[in-house]
Amino acid sequence: MRSDMIKKGLERTPHRALLKGTGVPHNQMDKPFIGVATSFTDLIPGHVGMRDLERFIEKGVHSGGGYAFFFGIPGVCDGMAMGHKGMHYSLPTRELIADMVESVAEAHRLDGLVLLTNCDKITPGMLMAAARLNIPCIVVTAGPMMSGRGTAGRKYSFVSDTFEAMARYKAGVINDKELQVCEDNACPGMGSCQGLFTANTMAILTETMGMSLPRCGTALAVSALKRRIAFASGEKIVELVHNDVKPRDIMTRKAFENAIRVDLALGGSSNTVLHLLAIAHEAGVELPLELFDELGKDTPQIASMNPAGEHFMEDLDIAGGVSGVLKQLGSKINDTPTLFGLTTHQLAESVQNVDEEVIRPLGNPIKKEGGIAILSGNIAPKGAVVKQSGVSAPMMVFKGTARCFDAEELAMAAIMEGKIKSGDCVVIRYEGPKGGPGMREMLAPTAAIMGMGLGDSVALITDGRFSGGTRGPCIGHISPEAAEGGPIALVKDGDIIELDIPNRRLELLVDEATLATRRSAWKAPEPKIKGGWLARYAKVVTSAHTGAITTAD
């Protein structure tokens, strides 16, 4: 075992002394040492219930014949960080989390890891670490929140309801009392946000790839089932150590293809493009951006999930969960191994009934194509991403007048002041991985556009990214980004921008000679943040089309 390096032989007497100083009994030294990387924090609803799950994981590890050690991993709540300086830190923490898990596991020679996670950048950061370390690992996602309840039985979802409520209030659509009811009921307790936002999409894709146990991706945070999954995961990691089952045995190219298909079929978050590319990079799997579009044209959307649709995570779980989705997709899913022991086809076959009101059969899809589309054109020569499942039919093809803003705050002020009108195309730039730095989510301006009733007449494009809660004609991940001199930096107010999602095009209708003149006059702006670790991050992060990974170059 790896842990023999710190507990076997005469030379390890000091190491054993330190271990005994932590309370490890001598008769436990021969057991596998299992690290439990926990992202518990009082700051995030999705993580406040993890103390309970830690207990059950520890019970499972000991029942399985291992010895558990807990260590902490930071978490940033995107909702809390939204709309201010804090959002610069969100995506970069993904790299920080992967580095921290790697550091502790390598320094202490742990034999295996249970990765207790839940929210947006934390789950992909954990998976990146698992792929990089390639030691036995299992993921426990802490589960989604129950939907909130308002008057007349209305269900609330935190992301779509609260952020859009601000604009509806501003527009006079709702009053003080209605706004307060939304605020008081949108988050009824622990768990990740209730719809198919980034956190829940990543939990589903983790289970799809086989890195967590069945039902883990959808079982609610408040459920006894989640406790049982935590216990079983603790037992399973000891078995994985003994059998030397490693993440790269599970996270193969075919497993990533399954994850993409399930994401497309459910209409999941566009952030998963960034995260799957980054995880695949760590796993040594080639995963080109174009694959999302290739599979999307062959994968119908078979569920209508909040925020763009009607169903919540609690509905998906009851309807059949991830295995139910695999069953409905049938032969489109590769037969790949999972940590559970059954293959993806076996898991699909084990499902007795699927609620086809929630997870439709292939012959009766919501839409003929998957939820995500990859666009390109002279604004985005290296690609851009749109969550087409959240775009209304009239906005699938659109021609608008550019309104340019060099920061999210400037765009948000213009929207809330009523300066954005029907027919405009809002351009938010210098918000990419390097220019942000940190590629902030543009949930506030997109929610404000929807809340102001402009969702069917205004488009938004950015080199930043979007929350999983974003809906409407919002195109992100534009590469190359403005800070690298990408064409989005050359757009001027009054230019005409053409969006054609069916044909995967995003074009600036300005002749090349004019663009060449603008390009020769362009100068890189001063960095927005010049100190702290974000300044270092900006120097090594790559473009969105690579997954916004960091390099040593």
Beta bridge partners of 541: 550
Q: Taking phi first (over 0 means left), then psi (-120 to 50 degrees means alpha), and beta for anything else, what does residue 537 get?
A: alpha
Q: Which residues, in sequence order, are CB contacts of 93 under 8 Å at separation 6+?
A: 74, 75, 76, 121, 122, 125
Reported as type and span, the H/E element at residue 329 is helix 321-329
Q: Which residues, in sequence order, are CB contacts of 478 under 8 Å at separation 6+?
A: 379, 380, 384, 432, 461, 462, 463, 486, 488, 506, 544
Q: Which residues, in sequence order, are CB contacts of 27 under 8 Å at separation 6+?
A: none
Structure tokens at 273: 């493009």
Quickly tell me which residue has 């009607």 as its tokens.
310
Active-site residue identified among 3, 39, 147, 467: 467
How far is Cα 17 from Cα 1, in angstroms, rounded to an integer? 19
How far is Cα 127 from Cα 138, in angstroms, rounded to an integer? 9
How far is Cα 522 from Cα 517, in angstroms, rounded to an integer? 9
Q: Which residues, in sequence order, are CB contacts of 75 under 8 Å at separation 6+?
A: 39, 41, 43, 44, 47, 93, 118, 119, 122
Q: What is the DSSP letter of 6?
A: G
CA-based torsion, 332, 217, 271, 411: positive or negative: positive
467 a catalytic residue: yes
Could you list the active site residues? 467
